[in-house]
Amino acid sequence: MTAVPPATPWPSIHYADWQETCSALHLWTQILGKYRLAHTPWVNHSWHATLYVTPRGLTTGPVPDPGGLVALSLDFCDHVLVAEAEGGARATFPLGAMSVATFFGETVRAISAVGGTPTMHGIPSEIADPVPFAEDEARRPYDAQAVQRFHRALVRIASLFQQFRTGFIGKVSPVHLFWGSFDLAVTRFSGRTAPLHPGGIPGLPDRITREAYSHEVSSAGFWPGGAGVDDAMFYSYAYPTPEGFAERKVEPSEAWFDVRLGEFLLPYEAVRRSADPARTLMRFLDSTYGAAADAGDWPRSSLECAQGRPREPRMV
């Protein structure tokens, strides 16, 4: 069992309470992500295109724009978008109720203001019947308090995902937010190649899906809601799905295997309301990975290690 940091308060983030704001935020992150994707050299499994949780919100990290390094961030403390570039250039605009088209236009202007090149694919990904960003004129709400609660949840979840990540010396992804599906994720790899993925994800070319799933994985993550689930939810799946995976016993007792989605699910509320949310989530991460690794006959002894600790190098 992986050790966990001390318990901290977890906020309530019921999806129904901020669904429209969440939908807008999802599309905003797609705009930031598509800017990063347009300028960053390809890294395996699309890791070059993701966003990262920060103490203040979400960021692209440094993007190698032709005009120099540029970073875009959604600051959920001051509720602004921030564009920054090398040399100290900085531009912002306030987050609030607005259309996606307005947000897109303001983001383009902010990138240009710091010397960046605001080229990107202008249509949402992984969304059925997408409306181009520049044409999405419907005014959308912005519940600032709900966004801050969501961010507080992301901070806690990302910290635990990072801790979980350290118990693996095989190939493992960063802890990052995929803006297409709007989920925070961390993925472990067996080291073996996988069968060709069938593709078919709306708004995502099959060649990208197939590159993403080129190797066997056990992946865990978190959705705020939507995407086939009614409320905020943790998930864990394996690709390819090994025989007997769905029947494996996992923890805690509130987790189950969703046949329709093909993955184990655990409600965020079950974690939040537990006596020790951090330990409850870690039990889910450890046990569902174990289910995937055992059912898939992974070489666990050569892939796993004790959790990492500050200033303590791995024993060789």
pLDDT grade for 228, boundaries at 50, 70 and 90: confident
In what helix (H) or strand (E) does residue 220 lie, and over which residues does it extend?
Answer: strand 215-223
Would you say residue 97 has pLDDT above 60?
yes
SS3 67: coil
Would you say residue 315 has pLDDT above 90?
no
User: Is residue 228 left, alpha or beta, with left meaning phi > 0 and alpha meaning psi from -120 to 50?
Assistant: left
Q: What ranges do the domains of the chain cover?
A: 15-140, 145-303
Confidence at residue 119, expressed as pLDDT on a 0 to 100 scale: 93
Rounded to an integer, the average pLDDT of 106-134 is 96
- How open is the CA angle 176-177-183, to the nearest 5 degrees? 125
Beta partners for residue 217, in sequence order: 189, 239
- Interatomic CA distance for residues 216 and 81, integer angstroms: 37
pLDDT digits (tens, 9 = 90+) for 232-256: 999 999 999 999 999 999 999 999 9
Residues 283 and 255: beta-carbon distance below 8 Å:
no
Would you say residue 1 has pLDDT above 70?
no
Backbone phi and psi for residue 301, each to the nearest 5 degrees, phi listed first: -65, -25
Confidence at residue 8, expressed as pLDDT on a 0 to 100 scale: 64
Residues 237 and 266: beta-carbon distance below 8 Å:
no
SS3 225: coil
Confidence at residue 314, expressed as pLDDT on a 0 to 100 scale: 85
pLDDT grade for 202, boundaries at 50, 70 and 90: confident
pLDDT digits (tens, 9 = 90+) for 156-194: 999 999 999 999 999 999 999 999 999 999 999 999 999
Confidence at residue 226, expressed as pLDDT on a 0 to 100 scale: 86
User: Is residue 215 left, alpha or beta, with left meaning phi > 0 and alpha meaning psi from -120 to 50?
Assistant: beta
Higher pLDDT, 315 or 203: 203
- Interatomic CA distance for residues 174 and 188, integer angstroms: 10
Confidence at residue 13, expressed as pLDDT on a 0 to 100 scale: 97
pLDDT grade for 203, boundaries at 50, 70 and 90: confident
Place of tokens 């799946």: 237
Residue 81, CA distances (Å) to 58, 62, 69, 85, 189 in order:
10, 15, 17, 14, 35
Judged by average pLDDT, the poorest of 143-147, 199-203, 220-224 is 199-203
- Give residues with Cβ within 8 angstroms of 204, minimum separation 6: 125, 126, 180
pLDDT grade for 7, boundaries at 50, 70 and 90: low
Rounded to an integer, the average pLDDT of 273-280 is 97
pTM of structure: 0.95
**For residue 23, how many other CB atoms are within 10 A of its CB?**
17
The type of residue at 109 is R
Higher pLDDT, 6 or 243: 243
Mean pLDDT of the chain: 95
Return the closest-CA partner of residue 144 out of 54, 75, 59, 51.
Answer: 75
- Interatomic CA distance for residues 207 and 48, integer angstroms: 16
pLDDT grade for 227, boundaries at 50, 70 and 90: confident
In total, the chain counts a number of residues equal to 316
Confidence at residue 9, expressed as pLDDT on a 0 to 100 scale: 87
Residues 265 and 253: beta-carbon distance below 8 Å:
no
Beta partners for residue 299, in sequence order: none
SS3 289: helix
